[in-house]
Amino acid sequence: MARTANGVREVLVLKPPGEESLPAARLQVLQAVAQAAGWRVQQVREPSGPRGRNLAWLAGYPFPTGDEDGQGRTLLEAFRKPTGLRPGVAASGLPALTGLDCAYHMLWQRRLLFDTCQPLPPDTVAHQFEAAPSRLTNPSTPRGDGQWRCLCWLSFCGRGLLLGW
């Protein structure tokens, strides 16, 4: 499930490998259920390359670690201006491993943003959501090949789910 930048709710369904679409009967059922809930169905391909690897890595950080409120505020303050993950964690005063775990969780939530078209080493430059360049904050802008801009935000616990890659 996803919510687009303009508020439309979608069910994102992965296309089967090597196929252009889900089987018609399956797609009809999904569309009927989604329509009844006020959602629409969009078939997408699984992201590949750095986007797919970044998404897989960050998927390991969907849940908060420790004191998310206190640590999160401290970490966000360190990323007011674009900075590398390790330098930002060091500037926050948090222990290195705890701070990196919190930073990866905040990347997963899109409280911190980075260019997901690039690999995600520990020195990746990240920004607070408000300080991020517009190309990283506008998932409705296509890249030119019909896919969404390089973004991913997945958040559970009733906060919704937004995917863009």
Residue pair 125/97 in contact (Cβ under 8 Å)? The answer is no
On average, the pLDDT of the chain sits at 77
Cα–Cα distance, 1 to 9 (Å, whole number): 7
pLDDT band with cut points at 50, 70 and 90 for residue 152? very low
pLDDT of residue 109: 85
| pLDDT above 80: residue 60 | yes
pLDDT digits (tens, 9 = 90+) for 61-79: 887 776 667 888 899 999 9
Question: Per-residue DSSP letters for 50-91?
Answer: HHHHHHHHHTT--S--S-HHHHHHHHHHHTSS-EEHHHHHHH
| pLDDT above 90: residue 96 | yes
* Tokens at 73, concatenated: 């505020």
Residue pair 32/70 in contact (Cβ under 8 Å)? The answer is no
pTM of this structure: 0.63
Question: What one-character DSSP code corresponds to residue 134?
Answer: H
Residue pair 137/122 in contact (Cβ under 8 Å)? The answer is no
